[in-house]
Amino acid sequence: MEPELGNVNLEADENGKGSASGNFIQSIISEDLRNGKNGGRVHTRFPPEPNGYLHIGHAKSICLNFGLAAANGGITNLRFDDTNPSKEEVEYVESIKTDVRWLGFDWEERMFFASDYFDQLYNFAVGLIKAGKAYVCDLNAQEIKEYRGTLTEPGKESPYRNRSVEENLSLFQRMRAGEFEDGSRVLRAKIDMASPNLNLRDPVLYRILRAAHHRTGDKWCIYPMYDYAHPLSDALEDITHSICTLEFADHRPLYDWAIDNVDYDAAAHGRPQQIEFARLNLSHTVMSKRKLRQLVEEGYVRGWDDPRMPTISGLRRRGYTPAAIRDFCERIGVAKRDSMVDIALLEHCIREELNMKAPRIMAVLQPLKLIIDNYPEGQVEWLEAENNPEDPTAGSRKIPFSREIYIEQEDFMENPPKKFFRLVPGGEIRLKSAYIIKCQQVVKDSEGRIIELRCSYDPDSKSGGATAGRKVKGTSHWVSAQHALPAEVRLYDHLFPDENPEEDEGVNFTSKINPRSLEILENCMLEPTLAKAVEGSRYQFMRQGYFCVDPDSTSGRLVFNRIVSLKDSWARMQKSKPATRK
């Protein structure tokens, strides 16, 4: 499915402020600035809940919030909406900070937590009770759901809705003091049980929950609900534009109600405005934190940073760059309706970047030994090889050539089909940056498996030689057996072969996991140039794809992750589209 368009350009201009191309949120901000709203300020926030690792959808929100603020001379807060201690951990807080910084954004000194405001939020709730706009309700969760009504039928008022202000104040204070069991009472807003918007049918503002909080410890046994804490946190931080995803559109009236009915700060500059945009749905994966957590906890993947995961940490480990992810977020743009974005576009973005930047390396992933009988024993030549044909400034390197080399198993066929242009018995190929060789003999083991090729070479076919211009149809990469570095290579594919693994209701999404999403090759041979490769370094393995050094690497054994193959399905799809008439 094609991505929605309407991009926001997140590149900084010469003044470092950034610039924004047209999208509907930028249009709203531009109109606000023209009208002098909020004193001409633009102040956004990125407000993750610290209950899991961020994924590529959060990257879109990060780029949008920080990018729009920068493009309009504004600022952005990082705020953790930590109102549910039963699911939140310091580990997630630290991972989120790492991810935002890695993407290239800086909140400077503006890092906040909803828990910073727990005392104020409690006092605001007391004010609502005193104003007759909130009450303590003894219905349990199931009863509240039953009383709520449906989309076609109004709800019923709670039998506790008309308690006196004094009784509600006393009960709420006792809730805070820990006198009641978890789930036995809640504080609810008194709005309208007949509202067509179910979110306004006396929503819960506070619940009793005995769980240690990662910042406040056991100070509190009641915690504010997200829909209550979030708008007031925005207001307390002087946020001007509260940008969120479409699923919160129906919650906007409650967002506004909380701000309108609480005297959050008489000195606050302006009033936050909630604006919704379409969340990112990426093909061949899942984007729910709950489902990502399930993949981790049930062992379907190796962790939150498994390179098959759509998490930012997983993409980072796989070898994606911040620039490629920012480019992807810009290309998909900002839309008002949900759609599915093809993961091929994300892969296209990293290919485009690495094609220009990644050094070329020869790596044989499934080695087949080849002995050149007429090459002098013990001789080693150091041949010249260009580092990147797309970058004239990248220079060249020296690679060793010797009598015994490795080529790919797939580059030889004993009984080839038509149009097979690699090595065959009696056939010739050119070795990249080296000589033309001819296969003279195929050596097999007792079970008939090919274990070795015996070949000859043309000494004058090297660059600059008398027969260097002789044409042969195939060219293969290779590595010198004497100098090769052993390595493990991990080939990653989509975690789900289905474009939308959540499409079939009633079917467990884990049943659709691709059993071939990871293939580990343990006996790969690499050219010695990689001896000093460091974690995170990226290379193009010629004819194989783009690869990144994994943190599992040791001084004696490198481990590489395939970022993407060389085949660019997105570019091919774009070329196949009919031209647009003008």
**Alpha-carbon distance 135 to 163, whole Å?**
7
Report d(CA 501, CA 508) in Å as an integer: 9
Q: How far apart are the first and last CA of the chain?
A: 24
Query: Is there a contact between 377 and 403 (Cβ–Cβ < 8 Å)?
Result: yes
Burial label for 48, CB within 10 Å (0-12, 13-18, 19+), is buried
CB 236 within 8 A of CB 87: no
Q: Which residues are catalytic?
A: 49, 279, 289
Task: Measure Cα distances from 562 to 190, 439, 531 in Å.
Answer: 56, 31, 18
Residue length, the chain?
582
C-alpha span between 269 and 454 (Å, rounded): 80
Strand partners, 383: 399
Distance CA 161, CA 354 (A): 62
Helix (H, G, I), strand (E, B) or coil at 357: helix
Between CA 37 and CA 42, with CA 38 as vertex, the angle to 5 degrees is: 105
Report how far apart, in Å, the C-alpha atoms of 12 and of each of 5, 20, 105, 437 are: 21, 9, 12, 53
**Helix, coil or strand: residue 475:** strand
Which conformational region is residue 410 in: left (phi greater than 0), alpha (psi within -120 to 50 degrees), or beta? alpha
The residue to which tokens 């957590």 are assigned: 293
**What whole-number distance in Å separates Cα of residue 239 and Cα of residue 76?**
9
